[in-house]
């Protein structure tokens, strides 16, 4: 966990290094829906789709093609009596397909397609108790960016989270009474903004 926390801190410290002719740092704010994928044997998936997904993070582009992203994510499933809440820290690598694949200028001036993947660690707690559970995450997803100005972009994101060592189901109840953890997964569909920081006219996403 310490390695992951230091990695997230590193994302925010990298801008102290030599600057390029474009901005490299952005503040990321997203809100959206969480969809349980597994385990769902004892719940109705449609009843546990939740619009309690909030994410705040920072992204540092090492160059126009590759970067690092650190984020805190909150996800809530169910209700106060039967539900589960996740608090997650993650560190992901980011790749700009628009630059890697060299999209035509008239496309990548306004639209940027990115993919991201990396590890995370979560604390999950049932909504009706004070117990909690720690687990590892493997994350992967894609983002579609729309350029609004030199310091702002809209983003839509679809991410997949695989939970390793999950003790509680999305209803807040223990998954396995034999004292064995399980693995789980969920989808995150979110929308938000990237706020570009820096004194240069353009960010690496649009340079």
Q: Per-residue pLDDT tens for 101-141?
A: 999 999 999 999 999 999 999 999 998 888 888 999 999 99
Q: What is the pLDDT of residues 152-199, one digit of tens each?
A: 999 999 999 999 999 999 999 888 766 677 899 999 999 999 999 999
Scan for tokens 């169910």, then name that residue. 78
* Residue whose C-alpha is closest to residue 204's, from 156, 157, 145, 162: 145
Alpha-carbon distance of 110 to 113, in angstroms, equals 10
In this predicted structure, the answer to whether residue 13 has a pLDDT above a threshold of 60 is no
Between 71 and 8, where is the model more confident? 71
Q: What is the C-alpha to C-alpha distance for residues 197 and 149, in angstroms, rounded to an integer?
A: 12
Statement: residue 12 has pLDDT above 60: no
* Dihedral pair phi/psi, residue 162, rounded to 5°: -105, 120
- pTM for the complete prediction? 0.87
What the block records as the tokens of 87 is 């608090």
pLDDT at 6 over 60: no
Instruction: Round to whole Å and give the CA distance between 140 and 147.
Output: 23
- Helices within the chain (DSSP H only): 2-13, 45-48, 97-100, 105-108
Q: What domains can be seen in the chain, in order of their start residue? A: 2-206 (2.40.160.20)
Our measurement of the distance from residue 37's CA atom to the centroid of its chain's CA atoms, rounded to an integer in Å, reads 17
Rounded CA-CA distance 50/43 in Å is: 14
Residue 6 DSSP code: H
**Which candidate, 53, 69, 17, places its Cα nearest to that of 194?**
69
């Amino acid at each position: 966990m310490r390695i992951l926390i230091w990695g997230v801190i590193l994302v925010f410290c990298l801008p102290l290094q030599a600057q390029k002719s474009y901005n490299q740092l952005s503040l990321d704010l997203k809100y959206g829906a969480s969809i349980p994928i597994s385990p769902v044997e004892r719940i109705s998936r449609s009843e546990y789709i939740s619009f309690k997904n909030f994410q705040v993070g920072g992204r540092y582009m090492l160059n126009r093609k590759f970067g690092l992203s650190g984020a805190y994510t909150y996800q809530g499933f169910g209700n106060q009596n039967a539900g589960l809440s996740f608090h997650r820290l993650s560190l992901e690598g980011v790749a700009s397909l628009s630059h890697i694949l060299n999209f035509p200028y008239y496309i990548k001036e306004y639209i940027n397609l990115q993919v991201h993947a990396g590890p995370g660690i979560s604390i999950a707690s049932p909504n009706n108790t004070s117990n909690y559970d720690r687990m590892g995450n493997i994350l992967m997803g894609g983002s579609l960016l729309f350029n609004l100005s030199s310091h702002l972009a809209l983003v839509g994101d679809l991410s997949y989270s695989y939970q390793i060592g999950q003790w509680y189901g999305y209803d807040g109840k223990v998954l396995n009474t034999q004292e064995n953890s399980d693995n789980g997964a969920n989808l995150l569909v979110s929308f938000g903004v990237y706020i570009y920081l820096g004194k240069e006219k353009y960010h690496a996403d649009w340079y």
